[in-house]
Structure formats: C-alpha cells, structure tokens
Amino acid sequence: MIRLEKRPQPSQLWTYLTPVLAVVVTMVLGGVLFAFMGKAPLEAIRTIFWDPIFGEFAFYYRPELLKKAAPLILIAIGLSFGFRAGIWNIGAEGQYIIGAICGAGVALAFYPTEARWLIFPLMIVAGILGGLIWALIPALLKVYFRTNEILVSLMLVYVAEVLIKAFSVGLMRNPEGMGFPGSRNLRQYPAAANLELIANTGIHWGVITAVFAVIVAQVFFARHQFGFNVRLAGQSPRAATFAGVDPSRLVIICMCISGGLAGLAGLYEVAGPSGQILGSFPAYYGFTAIIVAFLGRLNPIGILLAGLLLALTYIGGDAASSSMNLPAAAIQVFQGMLLFSLLSLDVLTNYRIRLKKAQVA
C-alpha cells in the first residue's frame, strides 16, 4: 500500500526540486497531448523550448523573449508579496489592463506634445496609480466588509476587459483611424514610446524595471522588517498579530504593491510591444504571472527564471503555431499543465511517500 506521511518540517530539497520536476512532467504530458493532436511530440517540444534560443531564427526570438518575460516578472513579483502573506490577489490581469488604460490616457491627452521628459514619467505614474487603485478596491472591501479578495479581484478583471473594449471604440479611438477600433499607436509617438534602449536586444524600460524589482524584492524579503512581517503573516497569522503586525494594513500594502506593479507592466506593454489600446490588448499576462510566482517559489530570483521559462512557452508556442499548425489554445493548456504538475508534486514538500505491506485478513 502507498500512503502519505506528513513530514515534521517541509523539505528544503523538494521545495526547490519540485519546480524542475514539474517542468519535466509537463514536457511529457505535453508530448502526449501533441501526439493525440497528430503532431510529432519531440518536434513540438524542441520547437517550443529549443529553437527560440538556439534555432535558426534565434536572433529574432531572443529579443522577443525579454519583451514577453518583463511583464510576467513584474506582475509576479508584486503578487509574491501578497501570496507570501496569505493575501490572494487573483485579479492582476485587471490591474494590468487598467494600468495600460491610464498610462495611454495620459499620452493621448498630451498628444502631439513632444516633451518626453514630462510625458513618459507621467505615464509611468498614471500606470502605477491605475493598477494600484484597481487593487485597492478588493483590499478595502476585505478590510472593512470582510469580503473575499479572490472573488472581488477576479470579478474586476471582467470589468477591466469591458472598459478597455469601450475605450478602444469610444473615448480613446484614433480620430484618424477611419472608424476602426483602437487608439493611436504610441510606438509612433516619440514622447510616449517605450522602444528598445539598445537595438535588437529587446531591452526596454520594462525589462530594466523588472530586473530592478527582482533586486528590491530580494532585499526586502531577505533584509527588511517588512519582508519579515510578510513571511510571518503567511506562516502564522496569530504570531504576526502578537508581533505587532496590523493585518488590515498588511492587506492594503500588499495589494497596492501587486496592483501598482501590474499597472506598471500594463503601461510598459501599451507604450512598447503592443503600442495601442485595443479590445484584443495582450491578455492573460496577469493570470500567467500566477504560474510564474508559484513556479518561482515566491522567490524573486526564482520568479526571474520562471518568467523567462513561461515567456519561452509564448515565443515557442508562436513558432510551433506557424511551423506545425499547432493551435494557440494548446499552448495555454500546456501552461495550465505546468501549474497543475507543480501543485501535484508540491505534496512531496510536506509529505513523504511510504510503502506499506497490505495486511491480509
């Protein structure tokens, strides 16, 4: 018989080993999925994970890898503060969208002014405030009315999606766009464009900010009192209360951090790779960032590596779609497999498997 025996303490070895095993298991399960779809499993896995970095067209895909990874890392870093404290902000997707709307709104309000020294910093502030305020709604409702932040933040995602579609055909629609939905292209507006800082590298201000966020978060978690309070609240809320941690204040701060960084990611995306407010604004970064956060073990360095890995699935998925006619939805299923594999294997962190002979009656 196989039974699970609870460990006295969580295993440090399995804590860091399960994400690696989850990736391997996902590759195997993904291969089975691709085989059922009539695709060559090994070729599909190679196209997704190998070709974008080492393949013939790697020179094109590598810069895109950084552009895709930056918003995932930024959002996941923000989520890690709340998740570590037991505060579950599932609505980062909505905060990301609202940050994009607010940042683009500032740029379009100043159009065609060319004072980049003024406009782009204001866009950054607006993006942060937009995401922060959107995250503050579930935070305040939780603190004052004891609502569930998971449900409220998730429902606000759908409100944000409705808003961006409405703005793309209404207030922000390009007056020179011949009636088509979508705002002006900010990439063609020098004062508001978040273009590559070094040509053909993929490095823009979003990438720089993501790396900076990783460093700051690492310092906070390792060296700062606030990081200690976050960890303590997540591990033992009662002990945190005795230590003087105000749970309501912690909820508001953690939600503001995650919302602000998600909004900032949305601003960098709309001013850079995406370029405009549109109903089909690049979606699911906020949801994929949840996978990034847990795959990275809520550790800033781990999140950096996990963000690059998930970005690789986006880039490799596009390559597989074009070269193998692989449906885009298959890549989303693949990412979902990664999360479920991680959650399944995570049992081994707190439990060990014991084999026991069955007793014969």
DSSP string for 325-340? ---HHHHHHHHHHHHH
Coil/strand/helix, residue 2: strand
CB atoms within 10 A of CB 116: 13
Residue 102 pLDDT grade (very low, low, confident, very high; cuts 50, 70, 90): very high
* Tokens encoding 274: 């995406």
pLDDT tens-digit map of 43-100: 999 999 998 988 888 888 889 999 999 999 999 999 999 999 999 999 999 999 999 9
pLDDT value for 4: 81
Q: How far apart (Å, rounded) are the C-alpha atoms in residues 121 and 268?
A: 11
Q: What is the mean pLDDT of the chain?
A: 92
Mean pLDDT of 356-361: 62
Q: How confident is the model at residue 212 (pLDDT cuts 50, 70, 90)?
A: very high
Predicted confidence at residue 162, as pLDDT, reads 95
Which pLDDT does position 201 carry in this prediction?
92
Predicted local distance difference test score (pLDDT) of residue 358: 59
Amino acid at 332: Q
**Domain 38-326, CATH:** 1.10.3470
Q: What are the domain boundaries of the chain? A: 38-326
Q: Is the predicted pLDDT of residue 361 greater than 60, yes or no?
A: no
Q: Give percent above pLDDT 90 in the chain.
A: 71
Give the model confidence (pLDDT) of 78-87 as tens digits.
999 999 999 9
Phi, psi of 276 (to 5 degrees): -155, 160
Could you tell me where the beta strands, DSSP code E, fall in the chain? 2-6, 351-355
Minimal CA–CA distance to 72: which of 320, 286, 236, 298?
Answer: 286
DSSP string spanning 148-190?
Answer: -HHHHHHHHHHHHHHHHHHHHHTTTS-TTSTT-SS---GGG-T
Nearest to 207 by CA among 70, 114, 338: 70
In this predicted structure, the answer to whether residue 261 has a pLDDT above a threshold of 80 is yes
Chain-centroid distance of CA 14 in Å reads 24
Residue 127 has pLDDT above 70, yes or no: yes
**pLDDT of 359 over the 70 cut:** no
Is the distance from CB of 172 to CB of 104 less than 8 angstroms? yes
Question: What is the pTM assigned to this prediction?
Answer: 0.94
Q: List, for residues 132-185, the tens digit of each pLDDT value.
A: 999 999 999 999 999 999 999 999 999 999 999 999 999 999 999 888 999 999
**Given this model, what pLDDT does residue 15 score?**
87
Task: Indicate if the pLDDT at residue 229 is higher than 70.
Answer: yes
Give the integer Cα–Cα distance in Å for 251 and 44: 43
pLDDT band at residue 347 using 50, 70 and 90 as cut-offs: confident
